[in-house]
Amino acid sequence: MNEIRELKLLDHTDSPWIEEVLDVVARSLGEPWRVLLARLEHAEVGASPVRVAAILRALRRVTGGRAERGRVARELRREILGQPALDAATRTTRLTTTAARIGISPADIEPMLWADLARERPVTLPNGRPDAPTLAAFANLDRIQSAVRRAYSVHIRVQDDANDLVRAAARFGLVASVTRAPDDATKLDITGPLSLFGSTTVYGRSLTALVPLLADFPRFTLDITCDRGGRHTLRVGPPLLLPAAPLPKPRRLGLAERLARDLFDLGIAVEREPPPIALAHAADLLFPELALEHRSLRWYVEIVGFATAEYLTHKLALYRDAGISRIALCIDAAHAVLPPPPLPCGRLLPFSRRIPPVALLSVLDEEEEASS
């Protein structure tokens, strides 16, 4: 049996030594990161090198701008390095001309030439000095997400209303089952990247996106069974210092929203995010994205991203056990393996990028004819 270990994370008691690290950062502004790293090696801060490194990764994450610095550095190298400058006058002319074109001083050009290299980029605090709890929160997020990227499985237990969390897991396309515990807690059992045979990097990125959402829950348990020189289970629970979950950004319509709109345009009555479906004799919960009325019949539609054949067969069996035969699973063809027939109930509609509403309605008609 796997031993469960508490994942050691940072909290407010770490603020004093984090402030000491920030003092060294402040003294190194404008100099290459290698200079900062050398100073920290000789500084006496009250933390291990591993924890200091975690704060520095958090600092890079908070200050951001990596993509823009990389673009500028590559552009500068193309213009300035080019043909060799064999004399000082030619070199100075190149630096001055390029600096004038992009609106910076010639003295600032050379440090920017290699700003896309981690150790050569200048130390900056574009938004001012961050506070210690903020850096600790981002360091914790990085630590948890690193473990999740190497997970065989992830288990989340939430004591409070977890419908939004479950819906988010579905939007991210995660292979997950949801159950209700006897004490009314919601349990998400999620397949980890190391249990899949393909697309593990993309899937791992999707799974890490779930972690910041835990900041909204005062009562939860996160168990990560992962590869850390062997299989171990790491546990995370409150109180937990995490960055506040980001506010939703304006974005293009998601798959479910777009499908609902397209169906509405065809005159189909659609209900977005209908209530979860509970099985009468089991703890499982089902979360279809849509319920719709077609030919005076009520159908459910669930959108599935990453999936194995066994996962799809099991999900259809759960709908059957819930007494629901009018179910269509819309499957992302790029990330799923379809099960062989016969299926327990319902129909599968593979799609690429967008779910065609007419094809979905045709699938519903075929299923109704087959069951008549």
Q: Are 126 and 59 in contact (CB under 8 A)?
A: no
> What pLDDT, on the 0 to 100 scale, is given for residue 338?
84
**DSSP letter for each residue of 298-315:** EEEEEEE-SB-HHHHHHH
Among residues 181, 123, 122, the alpha carbon closest in space to that of 155 is found at 181
> What pLDDT, on the 0 to 100 scale, is given for residue 70?
52
Helix H or strand E encompassing 328: strand 327-332
First to last CA, the chain: 49
Intervals of the chain under pLDDT 50: 67-68, 249-252
Q: Can you tell me whether residue 126 is helix, strand or coil?
A: coil
> What pLDDT, on the 0 to 100 scale, is given for residue 300?
95
Q: Can you tell me whether residue 258 is helix, strand or coil?
A: helix
CA 105-111-114 angle, 5° bins? 130
Beta strand spans in the chain (E): 4-6, 151-158, 176-180, 186-191, 220-227, 231-236, 269-272, 277-278, 284-286, 290-294, 297-304, 327-332, 347-351
Among residues 105, 99, 135, the alpha carbon closest in space to that of 10 is found at 135
Round to whole Å and give the CA distance between 53 and 65: 19
> What pLDDT, on the 0 to 100 scale, is given for residue 250?
43
> What pLDDT, on the 0 to 100 scale, is given for residue 69?
53
- Enter the pTM of the model: 0.79
255-371: CATH architecture: 3-Layer(aba) Sandwich (3.40)
In the chain, the amino acid numbered 259 is L
Neighbours of 318 (CB within 10 A): 20
What CATH code would you report for 147-236? 3.30.70
Return the domain boundaries, the chain: 66-113, 147-236, 255-371
Tens-place pLDDT, residues 247-264? 554 444 688 999 999 999
> What pLDDT, on the 0 to 100 scale, is given for residue 251?
45
> What pLDDT, on the 0 to 100 scale, is given for residue 117?
62
> What pLDDT, on the 0 to 100 scale, is given for residue 116?
53
State the Cα torsion 159-160-162-165 to the nearest 10°. -90
For tokens 């972690």, name the residue. Answer: 211
